[in-house]
């Protein structure tokens, strides 16, 4: 068993006491421990502001891109070791680990490429401007400059690599130092990655900090100019962003929280259609990859009432092909939930869903932390409540019939806001009506027809080019989205003045159209 330390104020530190124990979800063996007790959060954040901030802001976007590429190179060099840790601490299969480890590395490389394109400048200028008076020389523009503070990144247990580096990539490119707080249950992978990056010395002092273990008084020490990006439960998010110091300092706070993500089968997609086949494949993948432990995983499934029986039969056949077991066996495609606590939470949620729906595929008793993939059917979703409110963070989804496009739209919106929806239909008339009608309730909508069924990247895969976040219960935040992600770490300021003055400012900036 190893002891995870924290990298704060430019040095590795150990928290007080025994700390929390990290386990192997397959064997139950304790693999590590971590404690954040007694560590100086005020000192850590001040070190980031005083050392990391000036060093990063002194670099151009292209210079920061070089740093991000160097981080990606360190991680790539150690990729196999990280995959082994993801297996041991998270129960990841090879595919699960690839989504997490390679996803983090890929996002870093993507933002490094953006930085190279922005070039040797420090600021961004929005394209276009406005004349403000009768004097055509008196005009306005909007300039983006890097905030003078530190970023606090609080991440969930399910993606200890991707969650760490997708936030870090944008923060570093914007020029903001960050303190990462991974969920303790799976923090081993984040710890090893940061340890390797620090050992290589590829980032300026203060640019990166890591807290392993409880955050305790972390929110007491943020101050104006700092930002907080949180991924996790809605309850924890509410507690943190309603912290008196966060409110008093008006801290910029982004949240990605619980989400009842939707998948809808169009009325045109019969059992023999390519859209139906793609739909069944996607439902199976989203329920079984990472054992359904993804913020974007499908939780609610809509299908025309006349197709319900066909969907159940097809999903049952698809589930039967998924081999479940110890991810050390490369033939196993589905692993366990990450620990006993998550298993209990999933079983509690499943019990609630069963008051309004019945199991039609899968189910059965768990074996250790292994929970069978499960599809429930709610026959009357329009009068149900819990199927639209309870998220089981595991391999569980609920199928619901609809009788009209209007009803499908109403049911889709009952989730209260989610990160992602997917629609499988070749009927352009249906998608032209359905997609805009549900868009305000979803952060991302994937539309799959026969033309893109083989090339689409997947319902649950977050691509750095697209915004990641969602309205309502999903938190109301946004991350990534290419250049859009930089906005969280930069101040947009309206500049008014002589046309020539504004042109001179723009000439020293990267002009962007957003």
Residue 256 a catalytic site member: yes
Q: Return the number of other C-beta atoms located less than 10 Å from residue 319's C-beta.
A: 22
Is there a contact between 418 and 259 (Cβ–Cβ < 8 Å)? yes
CA atoms within 13 A on the CB side of 26: 19
Of the residues 166, 256, 282, 286, which is catalytic? Answer: 256
Which residue intervals of 340-427 are DSSP H helices? 340-353, 405-413
Dist CA 42 CA 213 (whole Å): 16
- Of 113, 90, 112, 98, give the one whose Cα is nearest residue 24: 90
374-377 and 442-448 strand pairing: unpaired
Report yes or no: 229 and 469 within 8 Å, Cβ to Cβ.
Answer: no
On whether the CB atoms of residues 502 and 486 are closer than 8 A, the answer is no
Asked about 295 being catalytic, the answer comes back as: yes
Cβ atoms of residues 442 and 465 within 8 Å: no
Question: What is the residue-wise DSSP string for 109-130?
Answer: HHHHHHHHHH-S-SEEEES--E
List Cα–Cα distances, 490 to 166, 227, 304, 358, 473, in angstroms. Answer: 17, 10, 45, 49, 26
Token output for 68: 């991000």
Rounded Cα distance between 514 and 512, Å, is 6
Q: Active-site residue among 212, 263, 295, 369? A: 295
Contact 469/441 with Cβ under 8 angstroms?
no
Q: What separation, in Å, do the N-terminal and C-terminal C-alpha atoms of the chain show?
A: 49
Residues in the chain: 514
Residue 483 makes CB contacts below 8 A (sequence gap 6+) with: 114, 124, 512, 514
Q: How many CA atoms lie within 13 A of 378 on its CB side?
A: 25
Active-site annotation, residues? 256, 295
């Amino acid at each position: 068993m190893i002891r995870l330390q924290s990298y704060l104020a430019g040095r590795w530190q150990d928290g007080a006491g025994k700390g929390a124990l990290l386990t192997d979800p397959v064997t139950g063996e304790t693999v590590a421990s971590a404690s954040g007790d007694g560590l100086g959060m005020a000192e850590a954040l001040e070190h980031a502001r005083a050392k990391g901030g000036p060093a990063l802001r002194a670099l151009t976007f292209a210079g920061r891109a070089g740093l991000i590429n160097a981080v990606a190179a360190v991680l790539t060099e150690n990729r196999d070791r990280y995959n082994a840790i993801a297996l041991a601490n998270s129960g990841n299969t090879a595919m699960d680990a690839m989504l997490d480890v390679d996803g983090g590395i890929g996002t870093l490389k993507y933002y490094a490429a953006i930085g190279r394109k922005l070039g040797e400048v420090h600021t961004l200028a929005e394209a276009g401007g406005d004349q403000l008076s009768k004097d055509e020389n008196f005009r306005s523009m909007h300039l983006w400059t890097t905030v003078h503070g530190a970023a606090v990144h609080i991440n969930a247990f399910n993606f200890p690599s991707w969650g760490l580096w997708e936030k870090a990539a944008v923060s570093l490119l914007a020029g903001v130092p960050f303190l990462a707080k991974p969920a303790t249950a799976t923090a081993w992978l984040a710890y090893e990655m940061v340890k390797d990056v620090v050992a290589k010395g590829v980032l300026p002092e203060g640019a990166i900090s890591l807290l392993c273990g409880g955050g305790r008084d972390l929110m007491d020490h943020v101050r104006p100019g700092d930002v907080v990006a949180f991924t996790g439960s809605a309850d924890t998010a509410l507690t943190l962003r309603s912290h008196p110091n966060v409110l008093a300092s008006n801290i910029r706070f982004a949240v990605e929280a619980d989400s009842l993500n939707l998948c809808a089968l169009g009325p045109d997609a019969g059992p023999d259609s390519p859209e139906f086949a793609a739909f069944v494949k996607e439902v199976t993948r989203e329920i079984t990859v990472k054992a359904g432990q993804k913020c974007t995983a499908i939780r609610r499934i809509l299908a025309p009432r006349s197709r319900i029986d066909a969907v159940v039969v097809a999903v049952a056949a698809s589930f039967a092909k998924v081999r479940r077991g110890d991810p050390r066996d490369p033939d196993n495609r589905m692993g366990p939930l990450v620990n006993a606590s998550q298993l209990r939470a999933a079983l509690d949620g499943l019990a609630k869903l069963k008051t309004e729906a019945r199991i039609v595929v899968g189910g059965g008793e768990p074996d250790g932390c292994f929970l069978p993939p499960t599809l429930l059917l709610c026959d009357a979703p329009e009068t149900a409540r819990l199927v639209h409110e309870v998220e089981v963070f595991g391999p569980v989804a609920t199928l619901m019939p609809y009788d009209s496009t209007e009803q499908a739209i109403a049911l889709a919106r009952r989730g209260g806001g989610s990160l992602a929806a997917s629609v499988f239909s070749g009927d352009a008339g249906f998608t032209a009506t359905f997609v805009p009608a549900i868009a305000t309730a979803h952060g991302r909508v994937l539309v799959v027809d026969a033309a893109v069924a083989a090339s689409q990247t997947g319902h649950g895969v977050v691509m750095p080019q697209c915004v990641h976040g969602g309205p309502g219960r999903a938190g109301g935040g946004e991350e990534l989205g290419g250049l859009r992600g930089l906005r969280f770490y930069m101040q947009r300021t309206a500049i008014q003045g002589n046309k020539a003055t504004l042109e001179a400012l723009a000439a020293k900036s990267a002009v962007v159209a957003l």
